[in-house]
Chains A and B, each alone.
Chain A
Amino acid sequence: MSVQVKQRRRGHVEPRPEGAVQEVAHQFEDIGQQNESYIVGMWSFLVTEIMFFGGIFMTYIVYRTKYPQTFTIASGELDWKAGFLNTLILLTSSLSMAFAVRNAQLGKRWRTLLCLGITILCAFGFLGVKTVEYSTKWAHHLVPGPNFHFSRHGGEQAAPADRGTSFVEDASPETSGGGAKPEGEIPQHEAQLFFGLYFASTGLHGVHVIIGIILLAYWGGLVQFNARAARDFIPIEMVGLYWHFVDIVWIFLYPLLYLIGSPKL
C-alpha cells in the first residue's frame, strides 16, 4: 500500500526551493518519477546513438583491416594539429557543460547561462576549425567523387619509410614495401574509401554538433527568458548527456582518423 518513492539520486544536493517547484507533467505521479524517466529516456536514446555511430565505426574497422597501408598513408594527409585543437576545444566545452548542469541543479541562472554560452562558443570554434579542414581537403581534391585525386602534399612527405612507419611494417610485412612506392601507385579507390569514411563520420559528428548548438541555444534561451522553465534543471542535464556523448564520439574519431599514420611534426 505505502509504496515509497525512491529518493532522487541527486538527493544529496543541498535543499533548494527551485527543485520543489519543478512542474510535474500529467502522466507522472511525482517529480522523482518524472526526473528519473527523463534521464532513463536520454540514456536509452544515447544507446541508439552508440549503435548508429557503431555502424560507421564497424565500416571503418573493416576497411582499415582490408587496406591498412593506404589508410595509414591517407591518414597522414589529415592535419593532426587541427584535430588536436578541436579535441581541446571539445573537452573544454564538455567541462563548461558539466558546470552548466551543476549550476542549473543549484538554480544559479546566470552562471548556467554563462556556462552554456561558453559551450556554444566552443562548439562554433570546433565547426570553424572543421570548415577550414574541409576546405583544405576540397582544394586538394580529397573529396570523394569524380574530382578525387590522392597525392601527398606538403614538403616533408618523402618516402613513408623516412617517417618512421615501423608499425605498418610490423602489421603487414609483405606490403611494407608499398609505402615506398611512388605516389602514383597509391590505389586511388582505397584512398577515396578512407576520405569517404572521414567525411561520412566527421560529417555525421558535425551534424550532431550543430543539433547540440540548437539544443543548447534553445535551453539557454529558456533559462534566460522563462523563469519557470529555468527551475527545471533536468532538460539541461539531458542536453549535457547528449553533449558529452558528442564529445566522446570525437574522442574515438580523432585517433582513428588522424593518428594512425605517422604525423607530420
Chain B
Amino acid sequence: MDVTTTEPSSARKNYLNWDHSWQSWLFTLDHKRIGILYLISISAMFFLGAVAISLVRVELATPRGDLVESETYNKLFSAHGIIMVFFFLVPSIPATLGNFLIPLMIGARDLAFPRLNLLSWYLFTIGGGFAMTAFITGGVDTGWYFYTPYSSTYSNNQVALTIIGVFIAGFSSIATGVNFIVTIHKMRAPGLTWFRLPLFIWAHYATSVIIVLGTPVVAITLLLVLLERAFRIGVFDPALGGDPILFQHMFWFYSHPAVYIMILPSMGVISELMAAFTKKRVFGYSFIAFSSIAIALLGFLVWGHHLFTTGQSMYAGMVFSVLSFLVAVPSAIKVFNWTATIYKGQVEFTAPMLYALGFIGLFTIGGLTGLFLAAMAVDIHLHDTYFIVAHFHYIMVGGALFGYLGGLHYWWPKITGRMYPEGWAKLAAGITFVGFNLTFFPQFILGQMGMPRRYHFYPEEWQALNVLSSAGASILGLGYAIPLFYFLWSLRYGKLADANPWRAVGLEWRVPSPPPAHNFDEIPIVVWEAYEFVPEDADEAEQDREAMPGVPAGGHE
C-alpha cells in the first residue's frame, strides 16, 4: 500500500485553492467547503445573538427598567434564545467541524449525500432569513420555547414568521443527521470497525440519532401552533377545549434531547482533545462511546422535568425526576474517563487543551446543578429563576461553546493550513473562562435568592450581583472577540501548518493541511486501534505521515 506521490506543498492544490470563483463556493458539494459556509453563517448568527443579550445585560445593570421597555426586553431575550439555540448551538459543531471532519476521520471522500448536505446549508440560510425578517419587522416576544396559548393565540407579533424559520432550519438539521448516520454506517474505510472509530464519530452518531428522532416532533408541534394561529383549531387553546400543557410535553420531547444535540458533539471534541494533548489513548474508550448512546436514548425519557410546576401529575413527576437523575450516570462516566486520561499523560497546555479543561470543570458544575433541578421539591423553589439560567449556560456555554472553540482551535490548522497565534489563543481562553464564570456564577446566587428570569427590573438589593454578571458578560464578549480577530489574521499571516502539527493520531492528520478536494489520494486501510500513540518512533512516523496515507503511525502492519 505504499504510495509515494509527494508534491511540493506550496504548489499543492487543496480544497481551498483549486477554484476561487464564487460559484465554486455557493454550489460546492465538498463537505469541507460546506463546513466553512456553515462556519461563516453560524458565526454571523452568534454575533447577532450576542448583540441581543448585550442589551439585556446592560439593562440589568440597574434595578430599574430604564434602557428598554419590558416589551422590547422580551423581544431581546427571545431573539437571543431563538438565535443561539436554533441557529447557533444546534448546528454549531455538527454542521461545521462534523461536516468537515467526519469523512476525513472515517476515510471517506465525502459524506454519503453531498447534494443533501448543500441543501441543508441553504435550508439553514433560508430559515435564518425568515427568523431575521421576523426580528426586523417587529420581533417576537414568546421566548425561545413559544409556550402556548400565548404564542398560539395572544401574542400579536411575528410568531408565525419565526416559527416558519425554525421549522425550515429543523429540516436542515434533519438533513445533516440523516447524512451523518448513513455516512458513519456505510462509508467507513476498510478495517475501520466501530470500535476503532474516533469518539468524535460516536458522539456525532448519537447526536444524529437524536436529530432524526426528535426534530420532526418539534416540527409537527410548531406546525400545530401555526395551524392554531391560522385556523383556531384549538389543540393548544384551553378556551377551545385544547390543552396548552400538551404543547409543553411535545416541545420538550424535542427540546430536552436538543440539549444533547448541542452537548454531545462537544463531548466528542473533548475526547479528541484529551487524547491529542495527553498523548494517550482515551481511558475507557468503550464506556465513553456507549455513554454517548446512553445519553441519546435516556435523553428522550426526561422531558417532564420541565413540567414539575406546570400541572403534571405528581407520579409522572417522580418518574421523570428519577430518570433525569439517571442521565447524570453516563455524563459522569465521561467526566471520570477524561480525568483518568490525564493521569500519567504528557499533558500539553495548548489553547485547545485549556478549553477542554475548562469544559470539564464547567460541565461538571452545570451537570451537578442540573441535579438540583431534577429534584422535584428543590425545583419548585428554583423553577424559572436565574438559577436555571445559570445552570443551562454552564452546559451550553461552558460545555457546548467551550468544546466548539476548543475544537475550532485544534482543527484550525487542518481547515486553513495555518496556525493560529498560540499566545493570543491562550489569553483568549483564559479571558473567556474568567468572563464566563463572572457572568454566570452570580446568577446561581441570584436564582437561589429568588430572582425570576425574564424581568427587566428587580429589587435594589440584587444590584451588586447583577452588576458583577454584566461586567462578566463584557469580559466574556472580549474573550469571544479576540479569537475572531486572530483567526482572521492567521488566514494570511499565520505560520504554515504541516499535516499534523499536534502529533496527534487519527486519519484526518494523515492528509495534508488543508486537505485536497478529494480528501485521500488512496482510501486508507485501517489496521490500528483508535488513539494508538506510539511514542518511541514518533519522529519517524511524523516524517512518513504526509507521504504514506495508508500506513499507520508506528508502521504496524
Leading 10 A-B pairs by shortest Cβ distance: A196-B233, A55-B220, A3-B190, A27-B110, A52-B216, A189-B241, A51-B216, A41-B182, A37-B186, A37-B112
Q: Which of B217, B224, B227, B239 contacts A54 (CB 8 A)?
A: B217
Q: Is the C-beta of B431 less than 8 angstroms from some C-beta in chain A?
A: no
Please give, as numbers and ranges, the residues of chain B lying within 8 Å of A196 by CB-CB distance: 227, 231, 233-235
In A23-79, the 8 Å CB interface with B consists of 25-29, 33, 36-37, 40-41, 44-45, 47-49, 51-56, 58-59, 62-63, 66-67
Question: In the complex, what residues of A have CB within 8 A of residue B527's CB?
Answer: 1
A27 and B178 contacting across the interface, CB-CB below 8 Å: no
List 5 A–B pairs whose Cβ atoms lie within 8 Å, in order of A's numbering: A27-B110, A41-B112, A55-B219, A55-B221, A63-B235
* Chain B residues with CB under 8 A of A195: 233
Question: Could you say which residues of chain B place their CB within 8 Å of the CB of A44?
Answer: 177-178, 181-182, 212
Contact of B191 with A3 in the complex, beta carbons under 8 Å: yes
Are A26 and B518 touching (Cβ within 8 A)?
yes
* B234–A192 CB distance below 8 A: yes
Chain B residues contacting A59 (CB-CB under 8 Å) are 224, 235, 246, 250
Chain A residues lying within 8 Å of B178, measured Cβ to Cβ, are 41, 44-45, 48
Q: Shortest Cβ distance from B374 into chain A, in angstroms? A: 24
In the complex, which residues of chain B have a beta carbon less than 8 angstroms from the beta carbon of A193? 233-235, 240-242
- Chain B residues, CB < 8 A from A66: 243
Question: Which residue from B186, B191, B215, B242 sits with its C-beta under 8 Å from A40?
Answer: B186
Contact present for B215 and A199 (CB under 8 Å): no
Instruction: List, in ascending order, chain B residues with CB within 8 A of A1's CB.
Output: 1, 190, 525, 527
| B181→A40 contact, CB < 8 A | yes
Are A200 and B224 CB-contacts (below 8 A) given A26-B109, A44-B181? yes
Residue from A3, A33, A48, A54 in contact with B187 in the complex, judged by beta carbons closer than 8 Å: A33
Contacts of A53 in B (CB 8 A): 220
Is residue B111 contacting chain A, with contact meaning CB distance below 8 A?
Answer: yes
Asked if A145 and B215 sit within 8 Å, CB to CB, the answer is no
Is A255 engaged at the interface, CB distance under 8 Å to the other chain? no
Distance in angstroms from B243 CB to nearest chain A CB is 7
User: Once the chains bind, are A48 and B234 in contact (CB under 8 Å)?
Assistant: no
Query: B114 to nearest A CB, angstroms?
Result: 6
Residues of A in contact, count (CB < 8 Å): 44
Tell me the B residues contacting A by CB distance below 8 Å.
1, 103, 108-114, 116, 174, 177-179, 181-183, 185-187, 190-191, 212-217, 219-221, 223-224, 227, 231-235, 239-243, 246, 250, 518, 523, 525, 527
Q: In the complex, how many angstroms separate the beta carbon of A51 from the nearest chain B beta carbon?
A: 4
Q: Complex: how many Å from CA A27 to CA B213?
A: 26
Interface set, chain A 123-155, CB cutoff 8 A to B: 143-146
Partner of B231 from A26, A40, A145 at Cβ < 8 Å: A145
B246 A29 Cβ-Cβ under 8 A: no
Determine the residue in chain A with the shortest Cβ distance to B174. A48
Tell me, yes or no, whether A187 is within 8 Å of chain B by CB. yes
Main secondary structure of the interface of B (DSSP, over half): helix
Chain B's closest residue to A4 (CB) is B190
Are B113 and A41 interface neighbours, CB within 8 A?
yes
Per the bound structure, the CA–CA distance linking A200 and B231 in Å amounts to 10
Q: Inside 8 A of B523's CB, which chain A residues have their CB? A: 29
A37-B187, A54-B217, A193-B242 known, 8 other contacts, Cβ within 8 Å: A28-B187, A37-B113, A41-B178, A52-B217, A63-B242, A144-B231, A189-B240, A193-B235
Q: A26-B518, A27-B110 are in contact. Are A55 and B250 (CB under 8 A)?
A: yes
Smallest CB separation, A60 vs chain B (Å):
10
CB distance from B300 to the nearest CB of A (A): 11
Are A48 and B216 neighbours in the complex by a CB distance under 8 Å? yes
* Closest chain A CB from B521 CB (angstroms): 14
Residues B220 and A48 in contact, CB atoms below 8 Å apart = no
Interface residues of A in 237-256 (CB under 8 A from B): none
Interface-centre pick from A29, A51, A192, A200 (highest chain B CB count, 10 A): A51
- Asked whether B232 lies within 8 Å of A145 as measured between CB atoms, the reply is yes
Measured between beta carbons, the chain B residues less than 8 angstroms from A187 are: 241
Q: Given the complex of chains A and B, what is the CA–CA distance between A49 and B227 in angstroms?
A: 19
Which residues from 183 to 223 on chain A have a C-beta closer than 8 Å to any C-beta of chain B?
187, 189-190, 192-193, 195-197, 199-200, 204
Alpha-carbon separation in the docked complex, A53 to B217 (Å): 8
Instruction: Decide if B233 touches A197 in the complex (CB within 8 Å).
Output: yes
CA A196 – CA B224 in complex, angstroms?
Answer: 10
List residues of chain A with CB within 8 A of the CB of B234: 144, 189, 192-193, 196
